[in-house]
Structure 1
């Protein structure tokens, strides 16, 4: 049961990384510092004050950057590989498996894959918003992404099974949208 809950936690945080790279890591940091969740062996750095300040600074810069026209589209280009790395790291941080190959492989496939898919969807949405509103709608998209990242991170930490259900629905919805656009 512990493995299942840790996978739900990792998957929820990873999906949140698709919306914002650093906000879920900051949420995980705060949660570990308060003892709400426990990172795996070799990931204790996630519950340190230096990690808190670094992640807080990165989160503020990332959120602020998404409200600057043109920079937001540039950030999406950088955020895609960064989201995969962050998703992999967060899933690997909380899933407790003894085999390093399985541990990191699962983190990459489940965490990195989920974060990458969500990031691709949000990047496409921002591109569509830029095209149809000349960038004027992008702050609305950014605000929705911030709320989604913060909300899903909180749900993943406190209600990991519900986060799993939400992520599964989100994945199906994103895949349906991507395939319907491909057919058009």
Structure 2
């Protein structure tokens, strides 16, 4: 049991950071970079560059830019189209950074499935929610959603680093609701598209 404990902790940290990228791509990377730079988070030599001062500055600037951009009307919707694949890559990378002691095949298989999958699921549902908000509120509700996303990413990043077990539990809860809500949102949008096609065909 004690031999598997480090792997369980790494799993919770990796999945928590991956989930955080689903909310904001660069914020969890910045937290990991800053934590490594301050010697709070130990990382393998292969990922030591994340804790360098240039990396801290670069991820800090990228984080601020991303947060501000999401408060600009129409730009937020454009960003959603590119942040889903970016979140998948970032989630995979952050997850992989916690499993450097296993062979590369297992490391990256887990990273893509668990890390990338978690980030992609959360990011996709949030992108769909923003699209629905843009349609139903003419974009007025989008800043509220952006604020919730930033807070969510911050909380998940902090929990993943300092309370990894709790972050793992939260991720499971979020994935449950994300999948459940995502299905409803998909069927709702698909239904509207079918209705529009039917209306167009009647003319």
TM-score bucket (shorter structure): over 0.9
Deviations 1:97-141 (A, max 9, x none): 321111111111111110000100110111111011100110000
Per the normalisation by structure 2, the TM-score is 0.88
Q: How many residues align?
A: 184
Partner of 2:194: none
8 Å CA contact retained: 1:16, 1:152: yes
Deviation, 1:180, is 3.2
Larger Rg over CA atoms: 2
Looking at structure 1, the residues matched to 155 and 102 of structure 2 have their Cα atoms a distance apart, in angstroms, of 31
Partner of 2:195: none
8 Å CA contact retained: 1:14, 1:112: yes
The correspondence of residues 1-184 of structure 1 with structure 2, limited to 5 A, is 1-182=5-186
**Relative to 1, partners in 2 of residues 1:68 and 1:182: Cα closer, same or farther, differing over 3 Å?**
closer
8 Å CA contact retained: 2:84, 2:123: yes
Per the normalisation by structure 1, the TM-score is 0.96
Q: Which has the higher contact order (CA 8 A, sep 6+)?
A: 1
Long gaps (5+) in structure 1: none
Deviation, 1:15, is 0.3
Segments of 4+ in structure 1 off by > 4 A?
none
SS in 2 for 1:43: helix
8 Å CA contact retained: 2:128, 2:185: no
